[in-house]
Amino acid sequence: EPEVTQTPSHQVTQMGQEVILRCVPISNHLYFYWYRQILGQKVEFLVSFYNNEISEKSEIFDDQFSVERPDGSNFTLKIRSTKLEDSAMYFCASGADRDIRNSPLHFGNGTRLTVT
């Protein structure tokens, strides 16, 4: 069964550094998402992306965050200047349909980001 792949599985970075988290969604999917889970807290929606533009973003997704689909297969999340509070597990997801009642989201295994 096709799956969403995320790399790296664990990223350690220093505060203030830029970090790029990478995802390869399922190949025929058109809708892409990033979620994150701070340790001990809920999984939170960050952003949705379709047709090379952001569809929706949460209040967490400020100017320090950006997303890109640079080459038709990868989907990246960039954090320009990381803060300690950005430490979390970041999940990429993709879907074949905007309406997830028809087509469920498929999640990757996550990238654990640790900011020191």
Q: List contacts with another protein (CB under 8 A).
A: 3-4, 6, 31, 33, 35, 41-45, 48, 55-56, 91, 93, 95, 98-101, 104-110
- In the complex, what is the shortest distance from the CB of residue 16 to another protein, in angstroms, rounded to a whole number? 29
Euclidean distance between the first and the last CA atom of the chain, given in angstroms as a whole number: 37
Nearer to another protein, 105 or 116 (CB): 105
Spatial contact of 66 and 49, defined as CB atoms under 8 Å apart? no
The angle formed by the CA atoms of residues 96, 103 and 101, to the nearest 5 degrees, is 135
Nearer to another protein, 35 or 75 (CB): 35
Q: Pick from 11, 12, 21: which is nearest to 80 by CA?
A: 21
Nearer to another protein, 14 or 54 (CB): 54
